[in-house]
């Protein structure tokens, strides 16, 4: 078996490029340059670590969100809902409900993948599919959120901006009677899940940085804040008073660093390594020396599967 120092040396070598990325981010942050590249670099490296930690997850989003929740030391925050983002969604669809979302009673339209969460909410409520009914339920929930949380400019700072799923459901149960609050809370689950802070980071930062044109940020706020902050929502160049959560440069850098260190320390403690990392740390010759295969996490290996061929008859 290898000594602890020898194992750490191999692990350090495998993780060196992550530390190089953090140093590059430090340089960009110091110069307040290339904000899109900072977001891209932080999210891509977190993605990479998540794949190492959970190679068998059914979705990239699931691996990413579980990784930052488990290794950031901020599980409560990442599992909480950004209420301003949820409020924004309800206000938007409530506004377009009559005439756009529902142009003919009984027929509701889909506006891209992101609208699926709201459409699922409406389906589960069993409200009549009319513009007025859909708009009424969306605006009613939005009003409850606005009354209890800080979701807009000039609201009391004592009102919370993030909240647990259970606390939001408790407020809904207290303030709404019809439809049944149990029905409403069950219907809201896809939207509440969508706007957990971990999902906002994944969908609105990670996805837009990797797959989209860019992440909309304010340069001064992005470089001037150390922790997640809430900034005005801009829609088609128009600034609206709705406050959405944002993740600044220093926070993204520190999130990557803390997740990397926690994951590293956990690996050192367990001395069991995911398969992709294991094959980077050990050569083929190592397999027959020092009982190296004892360091392999066999649960992270892919099991061989039978291939079923379908022969086409002519």
pLDDT confidence of residue 290: 63
Q: Lowest-pLDDT range, 45-49, 238-242, 263-267, 283-287?
A: 238-242
pLDDT confidence of residue 235: 56
314 pLDDT band, cuts 50/70/90, is low
List, for residues 157-194, the tens digit of each pLDDT value: 789 999 999 999 999 999 888 888 899 999 999 999 99
Q: Lowest-pLDDT range, 2-6, 72-76, 97-101, 141-145?
A: 2-6
pLDDT at residue 313 is higher than 80: no
295 pLDDT band, cuts 50/70/90, is confident
Q: Lowest-pLDDT range, 45-49, 72-76, 112-116, 221-225?
A: 112-116
Q: How far apart are the first and last CA of the chain?
A: 59
- Helix pair 4-31, 35-53: axis angle to 10 deg: 160
pLDDT confidence of residue 236: 47
Q: What is the largest CA-CA distance in the chain?
A: 74
pLDDT confidence of residue 238: 52
pLDDT at residue 226 is higher than 60: yes
pLDDT at residue 74 is higher than 70: yes
pLDDT at residue 297 is higher than 90: no
Spatial contact of 29 and 223, defined as CB atoms under 8 Å apart = yes
pLDDT confidence of residue 309: 76
Domain boundaries, the chain: 81-195
Percent of all residues in the chain with a pLDDT value above 70, rounded to a whole number: 95
pLDDT confidence of residue 168: 96
């Amino acid at each position: 078996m290898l000594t602890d120092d020898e194992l750490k040396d191999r692990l350090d070598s495998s993780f060196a490029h992550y530390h190089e990325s953090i140093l590059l981010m430090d340089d960009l942050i110091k110069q307040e340059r290339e904000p899109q590249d900072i977001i891209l670099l932080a999210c891509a490296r977190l993605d990479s670590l998540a794949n190492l930690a959970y190679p068998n997850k059914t979705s990239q989003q699931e691996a990413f969100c579980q990784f930052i929740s488990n290794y950031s030391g901020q599980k409560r925050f990442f599992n909480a809902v950004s209420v301003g983002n949820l409020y924004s969604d309800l206000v938007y669809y409530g506004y377009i409900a009559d005439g756009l979302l529902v142009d003919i009673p009984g027929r509701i339209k889909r506006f891209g993948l992101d609208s699926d969460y709201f459409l699922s909410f409406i389906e589960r409520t069993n409200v009549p599919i009319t513009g007025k009914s859909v708009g009424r339920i969306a605006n009613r929930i939005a009003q409850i959120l606005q009354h209890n949380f800080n979701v807009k400019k000039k609201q009391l700072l004592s009102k919370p901006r993030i909240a647990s799923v259970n606390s939001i459901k408790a407020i809904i149960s207290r303030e709404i009677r019809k439809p049944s609050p149990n029905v409403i809370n069950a219907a809201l689950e896809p939207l509440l899940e969508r706007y957990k802070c971990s999902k906002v980071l994944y969908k609105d930062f990670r996805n837009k940085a990797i797959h989209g044109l860019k992440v909309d940020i304010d340069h001064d706020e992005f470089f001037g804040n150390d922790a997640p902050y809430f900034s005005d929502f801009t829609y088609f160049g128009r600034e609206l008073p709705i406050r959405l959560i944002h993740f600044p440069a220093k926070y993204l850098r520190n999130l990557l660093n803390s997740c990397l260190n926690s994951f590293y320390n956990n690996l050192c403690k367990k001395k069991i390594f995911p398969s992709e990392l294991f094959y980077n740390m050990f050569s083929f010759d190592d397999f027959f020396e020092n009982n190296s295969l004892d360091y392999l996490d066999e649960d992270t290996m892919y099991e061989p599967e039978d291939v079923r061929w379908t022969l086409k008859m002519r």
